[in-house]
Amino acid sequence: TTDIARIISTVGIVAHNLSSSATWRYTVYEDAGYTTLAYDSGTLDVWPQMPYGTYEWEDVHFWDLTATDEEISYYTKTLVYSVDAVVSEQYYQIEFFDDLAAYVEVGRIFIGAKYQPVIGMNLGASIGYESATLVDTALSGAEYFDRRDSYRVAQFTLDHLTYDESILNNDIMKISGTDAEILYIWDDSDALNLQRRAFLGRLRTLSPISQPYNTRYQTSYEIKELL
C-alpha cells in the first residue's frame, strides 16, 4: 500500500530465493479490502527461457530452455516487470508460487514510476561487471584473493533531450542523489535477458545538464548496482 494513489509502471523483486520453476502474479486494487481489481498481470514465470543455443542437444534442457538453479545462482536474482497499462491506485499485491521453496525471501521490493527518454541512449552505452575482489601479492609474486561478488555498472549519455526532458532529468539527479535506489532497465522489451541487463542501483555521480545544440540538451548517467 502506498500513501496516496500513484501510477506504478515498474516492479522489481531483488535478491529473492525463488527457484527456476517458480511463478508469480502482480495485481492492483481500487480498495483497501483488495476486492475490486484494477490490474492483473496474470500468472507469470519468474525465470524466462534461456537463449537458444545455451544447451547442447544431449542436455535435458535443450527443448524447454528452462534455466537450472545452478545457472541462476550466478546472478543477483532480480525479477523485473514493466506494467503494460496506466493505472493510478493505492493498493498493490504480489503473490509468489514456488513448490521448491520452504519460504520466500526477498531483499528489496521496488515499486515505482518509469522514465524512458523520447530518444534513447547514444551509441556507446555500456553495461558490465566490475570486480570487488581484493588481491594481495606476496614477496614471491604469488597472489591471494579475498573473493567478493562483482557488481554491474551502466554508463550512457542522453544527447537529444527536449527542454522539458532536461528539466525532468535535472530533477532525477536532485531527488535521487547518490544514495537513493534506482531500478535500471536496459531494454524492457527484452524479457529473455532482463535478469542480465536490469538491476537495482544508485547514481554513482551526478551529471549537469548541458546544451550542446540550439534546441537540444544533454546529460550522462553512471549507475552502480546495489548488491
Instruction: Write down the pLDDT at residue 22.
Output: 87
Instruction: Write down the pLDDT at residue 63.
Output: 44
Q: Is 159 helix (H, G, I), strand (E, B) or coil?
A: strand
Inter-CA distances, 216 with 8, 164, 173, 174, 222, Å: 29, 10, 18, 21, 21
Instruction: Write down the pLDDT at residue 145.
Output: 93
Instruction: Write down the pLDDT at residue 175.
Output: 92
**Which cell numbers hold the place of 113?**
514510476
Grouped pLDDT means (10 residues each) for the chain, 227 residues: 85 87 91 92 80 49 58 78 87 90 86 90 92 92 91 94 94 94 88 81 95 92 93
* pTM of this prediction exceeds 0.85: no
Residues 67/3, Cβ–Cβ less than 8 Å: no
Residue whose cell numbers read 542501483: 201
* Range list of H helices, the chain: 69-72, 163-176, 194-197
Instruction: Write down the pLDDT at residue 144.
Output: 94
Instruction: Write down the pLDDT at residue 60.
Output: 47
**Which cell numbers hold the place of 132?**
570487488
Inter-CA distances, 24 with 77, 149, 217, Å: 14, 27, 40
Instruction: Write down the pLDDT at residue 57.
Output: 45
pLDDT digits (tens, 9 = 90+) for 7-17: 889 999 998 88
Instruction: Write down the pLDDT at residue 176.
Output: 93
- DSSP 8-state secondary structure symbol assigned to residue 193: G
Instruction: Write down the pLDDT at residue 68.
Output: 67
Inter-CA distances, 100 with 18, 71, 108, 174, Å: 8, 16, 21, 43
Work out the angle at residue 166's Cα, subtended by the Cα atoms of residues 161 and 164, and round it to the nearest 5 degrees. Answer: 90
Instruction: Write down the pLDDT at residue 99.
Output: 86
Q: How far apart are CA 204 and CA 193, in angstroms?
A: 24
